[in-house]
A and B are shown apart, each in its own frame.
Chain A
Amino acid sequence: EAGVAQSPRYKIIEKRQSVAFWCNPISGHATLYWYQQILGQGPKLLIQFQNNGVVDDSQLPKDRFSAERLKGVDSTLKIQPAKLEDSAVYLCASSLAASGGVLGTQYFGPGTRLLVL
């Protein structure tokens, strides 16, 4: 079974530039997550999709970050314009839908490491 795919793996940009990340979840997984992880810290959930609808985007900085999941499969996360503090690893994960409040297993991609200069 193919895992969660992410691209690119690394990206270096200058502040105020734009950047986009792509995620292809595991086939059949209805739920897709984007996380931001600062080195040595736990991931912070940015946005959660259920199929192509948004379940939770309360921690997404909407003035500069946007995400979409067209057709309920692939997803893109965009930052425009980037700031120095956006330097982090951006992780994508997918899961089957949770049942009865019990968490399902999230399968993570390898992440995209972003450096903003």
Chain B
Amino acid sequence: TQLLEQSPQFLSIQEGENLTVYCNSSSVFSSLQWYRQEPGEGPVLLVTVVTGGEVKKLKRLTFQFGDARKDSSLHITAAQPGDTGLYLCAGNTGNQFYFGTGTSLTVIP
């Protein structure tokens, strides 16, 4: 059973396009994180969101935590080939920590 479902699972877009990745759950999370993982490497943290409704921006990336703290989204503006990778949401509920199912993004030059 996957507590954090991501959509879409795969995404292939042209350089310069915008995209949004979703992370959904029926559970409430104390905080939620987004990671990016490149082939052959471990995930690297992009952002942590804590407050329901919170929006954080990191250059061309915009992260939002849902008001009820059950979902989150990642929006990338003007995607670049360097954005290619596996995007993972992750969160803790109670004492347990979960990663999402993952979204594999390919940006074609």
Residues of A within 8 A of B (CB): 4, 33, 35, 40-45, 48, 55-56, 58, 91, 93, 98, 101-103, 105-111
Known: A101-B92, A103-B91, A103-B92. A43 touches B45 (CB 8 A): no
Most buried by A among B6, B91, B97: B97
A42-B101, A44-B99, A110-B41 known, 15 other contacts, Cβ within 8 Å: A4-B42, A35-B99, A40-B86, A41-B102, A42-B99, A42-B102, A43-B99, A45-B96, A58-B96, A102-B50, A103-B48, A103-B92, A105-B45, A108-B44, A110-B42
Most buried by A among B2, B43, B92, B104: B43
B interface: dominant SS: strand
Contact flags (1/0) for B20-41 with A, using CB distance below 8 Å? 0000000000111100000011
A103 and B99 within 8 A (CB): no
Among all A-B residue pairs, the 4 with the closest Cβ atoms: A108-B42, A42-B99, A101-B30, A42-B102
B42 and A42 within 8 A (CB): no
Closest to A4 in B: B42
**B79 contacts the other chain (CB 8 A):** no
Partner of A103, one of B4, B97, B101, B102: B97
> What is the interface residue range for chain B against chain A?
20 to 34
B95 and A103 within 8 A (CB): no
A93 and B99 within 8 A (CB): no
CB neighbours of A45 from chain B (8 A): 96-99
A56 and B95 within 8 A (CB): yes
CA of A93 to CA of B43, assembled, Å: 9
A42 to chain B, nearest CB (A): 4
Supply 20 A–B pairs (Cβ within 8 Å), ascending by A.
A35-B99, A40-B102, A41-B101, A41-B102, A42-B2, A42-B90, A43-B43, A44-B99, A45-B98, A48-B97, A55-B95, A93-B42, A98-B92, A102-B48, A103-B91, A106-B43, A106-B45, A108-B43, A111-B40, A111-B42
